[in-house]
Amino acid sequence: MVSFEFIEDRLARIRASSARLKKLQNLTRDQFLANPDNYAIAEHHLRRSLESMFDIGRHIIAKKGLGKPEKYSHITELLGQNNIISSEFSKQIKGMAGYRNRLVHEYAHITAEDIYEIINTRLEDFEQFSKYIVEFLDNEQT
């Protein structure tokens, strides 16, 4: 059985981290790059959002018996194949798995410019993912 409490906890983490990242969107590129703390804060909240997103996906896949993802990219694929998120959106966010791996394993190769670009172009993906998951939870309750 899907744990609503678990999923709602991870959605709250995504919302809180996204709110912090949105504050950094107000900075110009030069302002963002001038303060190393901006990078550290953004990296932390981006990683936290990605981990929460994949935690939710893994949980749903396991509890609904939808397969055994071998890689993070398989999580978004399985969610799309099973209409938890749209297949189009699944393709759109496929690269998030790779970015999660880079943040965790290849963090030395990620630049402040990379992070700045992501928080200014891809935050909506977390909002859209959350909407799909809330819709899924609503359908599970009925």
- Among 13, 45, 48, 100, which one carries the catalytic annotation? 100
Q: What is the pLDDT of residues 94-104, one digit of tens each?
A: 878 666 656 66
**Is 13 part of the annotated catalytic residue set?**
no
- Among 10, 59, 105, 109, which one carries the catalytic annotation? 105
**Is 100 part of the annotated catalytic residue set?**
yes
Taken in order of first residue, the domains within the chain and their CATH numbers are: 4-141 (1.20.120.580)
Q: Does this model's pTM top 0.85? A: yes
Give me the mean pLDDT over the 99-120 stretch. 76
Q: What is the pLDDT of residues 120-140, one digit of tens each?
A: 999 999 999 999 999 999 999
Contacts 24+ apart (CB under 8 A), 123-126: 123/18, 123/21, 123/22, 123/25, 125/92, 125/93, 125/96, 126/14, 126/17, 126/18, 126/49, 126/53
Give me the mean pLDDT over the 71-81 stretch. 93
Distance spanning both ends of the chain, measured CA to CA: 14
Q: What is the pLDDT of residues 64-75, one digit of tens each?
A: 999 999 988 899
Q: What is the pLDDT of residues 54-65, one digit of tens each?
A: 999 999 999 999
